Chain A
Amino acid sequence: MTRPVIPADPFKIHVPDHEIADLKHRLEQTRLPNEPDGNEHWDYGTSLSYMERLISYWRDDFDWRKQEAWLNSFPQYKVSLTDDADQDHEVHFVYERGSGQNPIPLIMTHGWPSTFREFLDVVDRLAHPENYGRSGPAFDVIVPSLIGYGFSSLPRQPIGPAVMADLWHQLMTDVLGYDTYCAQAGDWGSFVTSRLALQHADAVRAIHLTMLPLRPNLRHESQPPITEEESTWIKEMRTWWAGEEGYRSIQSTKPMALAYAVMDSPAGLAGWLADKYYRLGDTDKSHTWEGMEARFPMDTILTQLSIYWFTGTINSANTLYKAGPAEGSALLKPGQQVTVPTAYSEYPMDTLPITPKSWAERSYNLKQFKVMDKGGHFAAMEESELFADDVRDAFSVLI
C-alpha cells in the first residue's frame, strides 16, 4: 500500500554498535548498594534481588537489535515545529493509518517513566480492528514522543504540557492535515491531552483519559461543596502520596541534583524507574520479583529503559516535573471546565483508592466513567486487548 506523502521525515531508530557496547560495559562495572533487611516487598524502594536479575538480563540476554527492529516495524516520522516562544522542537511520532474509509484520527500521549513504546501493543488493534475480530471504528493512530523524551528533541529550556498541547495541535492539523481529531492519554500525557481539549476545543472532538490531572477551582460558585466520598478520597490520596511522592518532589524542585547519577549509571536509571512500574502497575506484590516480571517481562521494561538510556533523555524527562507545575496549567480558572466530551477509565493500581465520579465531573464534560477490574497505570502495555477495546468503545459512545 502506498502511503500519502506527509510533510515529515520518515525515521528509523538505529543505535550505533559502540553505544550498545558502552551500555554493556557500564552494566559490567556496576557497583550495587546493599539493601535494608525487610525489603522483600519494595517498601524501601526498588528491590536488590530484582535489580540483580534485571542487570544480569540487560547485560547478558537482552537483544536490543531485536527490540529496535520491532520498534521500527511501526512507521515513524520526525518533524520540526516551533512553539509560541520561538523555541524549535523536533517531534518524533508513530503514524499508522487505520483501515476503511473514515478512520478516526487519534493522538495518544504517554507519560513518565514511559515512552512512545507504551502504546505500540495497541496501535494495530486500534488501526485495524478487523484483524482482531472487532467491528468498531478504526483509527489513524498517532503516537508522539513527549518533548524531551525518547526520540523527540531535548528542549533548550524546559516546556510544560500547555506548550506541548499547542505543538500536538500543529502536528495534527498543519502536518497531518486533520481538521478535527480525538486524543487519548494517561500520566503526563493526560495533562497534555487535557490542555489540548482546553486550548483547541474546536478541533478536539473527544478525549479518553486514564488519569485526571486537572484540578477544579473549588472557590467558584459552579462548584458544589466537597462530598463526603470526595473528602475521604482526598485524604486517602494524600496519605498514599506521602509515601510515594519523593521522586516527584525531587524532579519538581532539583532535577539537576539527580541528573548526574541517572545519566551516568544504567543501573541507577533502572533503580529509579523500576519502582514506579512495580508500584503503579497492576502487579502481584506477594513475591519480590515474580509478579513484577509477569506483568512487565524483562524485554518490555528493558526496551523502555534502553530508550531512555540510548537517547540520554532521563534528565529532560524528569525535568517535565519542574516545567509542568511552573506553567501552572493544571489548575482550572474559576468556572473553567473541559467542554470536549470526555471518557474516563480508571485502571486499578491496588493500593490507590478509586476516584469518585463527582470529582471527574467537576473538571470535565464527562460522558462516561468506568472502573476497570484490572490494568494499572500502564494499561496499554499491561492489558493491551482490554485497553484497546475500552478506547474503541469509548470513542464509539463519544462521537
Chain B
Amino acid sequence: MSTPTPFQVAIEQSTINAILAKVKAYEWHEMPEIDPGADRWAYGADMEYMKELCAYWVDAFNWRAAEAKLNAFPQFKTTIETQEIHFYHVKGSGNAPQPVILTHGWPGSVFEFLDVIDLLAHPENHGGDAEDGLTLVIPSLPGYGFSGKPKKPLGPKRTAELWDKLMRETLGYDTYIAQGGDWGSVVSGSLAYNHGINKGGGCKAVHLNMWGIRPDTAPETDEEKAWAAAAAFDFEMEGAYLRLQMTKPQSLSYAMMDSPVGAAAWITEKFNGWSDTRGPSESHIENAYTKDQLLTNIMIYLATGTFNTATWFYRGMMEEGGSNMAPGDTLEIPTGFMRMPEEGKFISIPPRSMAEKAFNIIRWTEPSEGGHFAALETGSVFADDVRAFAKQVKG
C-alpha cells in the first residue's frame, strides 16, 4: 500500500500535436447515401457531424483549457496490488461529510463528473446546506485515462476489490456509498454485492443509474415483459461493440490506436445513441453535449493511449465469469435507482416491480430528461438525486 501522490494532468505538447496532425490530414471518404429525413446515424457515426467535430477539433478546441478544468480539483495516484489508480479526492463541507465513490464507465471518463463535484461536495455554494456536503472519490477505471494499464484484462469484480481497498485502507473511510453508471454501475453493484458492510466490506449503500449488476429474475408482468423484449431487440442492434470488445478487443485496437478520428467516431456514436439528444425542433447530439465536452472526453483516451486497455474491461468481465448475481441471490445493501429516460434500451433500468425482486430499494426516481452519461448531461438533476439519496441513507 503506497501513500497517494498528488497528480496533475500534463500531456506533452508533442503528443497533442501528433494527434491534431492526423485529425487535420484526415481524408474523408464516402458513406451510404441517407434518404432525406432519415436517421443520419443509422449506419454508425454520421459523417457530416464528424466533419464538423473534427474541424472544431483542429481550429478551436483548446486542450490546455480542458486540462486546466481537469486540474481544478485535487487528484492523486496510488498503487493497489500492482494496479496504479488515478483518482480525484475532494473533501466535502460540513462536520461529517459522507464519503461517496463515483465510478465512470465506457466510453466515458472521470471527466463525466467534473461538473457535479462542487455541487455535491459544497452544496452551500449552490444555495444548499453545507452539512449535506459529500466527500468524493472519483477514480479512473484500471486501463482508463490516467490510471495505469493492466498487463491483461481485468473486470468489474476485481475493480470493486481494488475500490474497497482504496476507500478503506488507502483513504481510511470505513464505510462509504458507491455510485455509478455504465461500468461504474457494475463496479458499484459489485461493491454493494461483494463488499457490503453485511459481508465485511465498507459499502453501506449504492446508487445506480444503469442496469449493471443483474439478478437472474425473469420478467413477469406485461410491463416487465415489454421492457425485456425491447432490451433484447436493442441488444441485437446496439450490442455489437460489446460483443467485439468482449471477445477480440485486440483486432479493433490497431485501427483505433492509430486513427484519432476513427476512435472519435467509435466513441461519438455511443454518446449520440445513448443520450437525451431530444431538442425543440429535432434530435441532435449537441442538445446533450458541447463539442468541447465530447472532445475533452475523447482526448483523454487518445492522449493517454488507453483506447485499447479500456476495451479490455469487457473481456475482463467475461473472464471473471460475468457480472450477474448468483441465482436466487438478492442485494441487501440499501439501493437507489435513477432511471434515465433516454438510456440505451438494452442497459436501461427495468420497471420498479422487477428491480424490487432482488434489490433493497430505498429510492427510485425517474427524471424527465437525461440519458446514459447522467452526470455529464444533467449535472444538477444527477447531483440533487445523489445528495437526496445520501440524506436518506443517513436517516
Contacts and interface: CB of A to CB of B under 8 A. Distances in A.
Nearest to B302: A31
Contact of B240 (A35, A47, A246): A246
B85 interface: no
Contacts of A264: 22, 26-27, 255, 258-259, 261-262
B305 A267 contact: no
B72 interface: no
14 contacts: A45-B249, A46-B248, A46-B254, A48-B250, A156-B33, A244-B248, A246-B244, A250-B240, A256-B31, A256-B47, A257-B265, A261-B258, A264-B262, A268-B257
In order of increasing CB-CB distance, the 9 nearest A-B pairs are A261-B262, A268-B255, A271-B254, A256-B44, A45-B250, A246-B244, A45-B251, A249-B240, A257-B44
A243 B246 CA distance: 9
Interface in A305-323: 312, 315-316, 319, 322
B289 to A, nearest CB: 17
Interface stretch (A36-44, A67-75, A335-343): A36-44
B152 interface: yes
Contacts of B265: 256-257, 259-261
Interface string A157-172: 1100000000000000
B165 to A, nearest CB: 23
Nearest to B254: A271
Contact of B244 (A31, A157, A250): A250
A272 B252 contact: yes
Given A30-B258, A51-B254, 16 more contacts: A32-B257, A33-B257, A156-B32, A156-B33, A242-B247, A246-B245, A250-B241, A254-B44, A255-B43, A261-B261, A261-B262, A261-B266, A262-B262, A263-B262, A265-B255, A271-B253
A23 to B, nearest CB: 12
Interface in B282-333: 305, 307-309, 312, 315
A267 B254 contact: yes
Contacts of B149: 34
Binding site secondary structure of chain B: helix
Contacts of A48: 250
Q: Which of B44, B152, B266, B315 has the most CB of A within 10 A?
A: B44
B251 A254 contact: no
B258 to A, nearest CB: 4
Interface residues of B, number: 56
Given A157-B33, A316-B30, A268 B258 contact: yes
Given A154-B30, A246-B240, A37 B151 contact: yes
Given A33-B250, A48-B250, A246 B257 contact: no
B237 A253 contact: yes
Nearest to B270: A257
B309 A34 contact: yes
Given A254-B44, A258-B44, A265 B254 contact: yes
B308 A34 contact: yes
B171 to A, nearest CB: 29
Interface in B225-284: 236-241, 243-259, 261-266, 269
A254 B26 contact: no
Contacts of A185: none
A49 B262 CA distance: 23
Contacts of A157: 32-33
Contacts of A44: 153, 248-250, 315
A269 B252 CA distance: 9
A315 B30 contact: yes
Given A246-B244, A269-B255, A36 B151 contact: yes
A322 B32 CA distance: 11
Q: Which of A156, A260, A264, A275 has the most CB of B within 10 A?
A: A260
Interface in A367-387: none
Interface in A193-234: none
A39 B261 CA distance: 27
B121 interface: no
A244 B251 CA distance: 11
Interface of A: 29-39, 42, 44-48, 51, 154-158, 242-247, 249-250, 252-265, 267-272, 274-275, 312, 315-316, 319, 322
Contacts of B126: none
Nearest to B265: A260
A33 B239 CA distance: 24
Contacts of A29: 22
Interface in B1-42: 18, 22, 26-27, 29-33, 41
A272 B250 CA distance: 9
Contact of A31 (B46, B238, B258, B266): B258
B243 A249 contact: yes
Contacts of A244: 247-248
B355 interface: no
Contact of B248 (A155, A246, A268): A246
B33 A260 contact: no
A35 B256 CA distance: 13
Contacts of A34: 149, 308-309
Contacts of B31: 256, 259, 315
Contacts of B261: 260-261, 264
A63 to B, nearest CB: 23
B80 interface: no
Nearest to A278: B251
A157 B33 CA distance: 5
Nearest to A319: B32
B26 A253 contact: no
Given A45-B249, A249-B240, A257-B265, A319 B43 contact: yes
A261 B250 contact: no
B254 A32 contact: yes
B244 A265 contact: no
A262 to B, nearest CB: 5
A270 to B, nearest CB: 7
Contacts of A271: 250-255
A149 B244 CA distance: 24
Contacts of A42: 250
B50 interface: yes
Contacts of B247: 45, 242-246
B251 A272 contact: yes
A326 to B, nearest CB: 11
A29 B309 CA distance: 21
A32 B238 CA distance: 28
B166 interface: no
B47 A261 contact: no
Contacts of A267: 254-255, 258
A183 to B, nearest CB: 27
